[in-house]
Amino acid sequence: MNGMSDVRLALHGQELEAAQERTLSMPADNRWSLFWRRRHTRKALLTLTREQLRDVGLTAEQARHEGLKPFWRD
C-alpha cells in the first residue's frame, strides 16, 4: 500500500468507530421509537394500492419485501 491508502483506511476506520459509538449510545426510548416507527410504516406499506406505490416510487414487490422485514432490521 502507498501512504494515501493508509490514510484512507485510517480515516475510514475512525468513521466506522464513530458510527458504532453513536449506535451503541442511542437511548432506549429512542430505540423503541425507531422500532415502533419501522413496524408502523412497514405495515402501512403492505396496505398501499399500486397507484399509491407508484406515487412513492416503489413496486409492489419492493413494498412487500420491505413490509415483511422484522422491525428490528435496518
Could you tell me which of 60, 26, 24, 23 has the C-alpha nearest to residue 45? 60
At CB < 8 A and 24+ separation, what contacts does 35-38 make? 35/71, 35/72, 36/71, 38/69, 38/71, 38/72
Q: Give pLDDT tens digits for 28-51.
A: 778 899 999 999 999 999 999 999
Q: Give pLDDT tens digits for 3-25.
A: 555 556 566 666 767 766 555 55
pLDDT given at position 19: 66
Q: What's this model's pTM, rounded to 2 decimal places?
A: 0.57
pLDDT given at position 28: 75
User: Taking each helix axis from N to C terminus, what angle separates 60-67 and 28-45, rounded to the nearest 10 degrees?
Assistant: 140
How far is Cα 40 from Cα 49, in angstroms, rounded to an integer? 17
How confident is the model over 63-67, as a mean pLDDT? 95
pLDDT given at position 20: 62
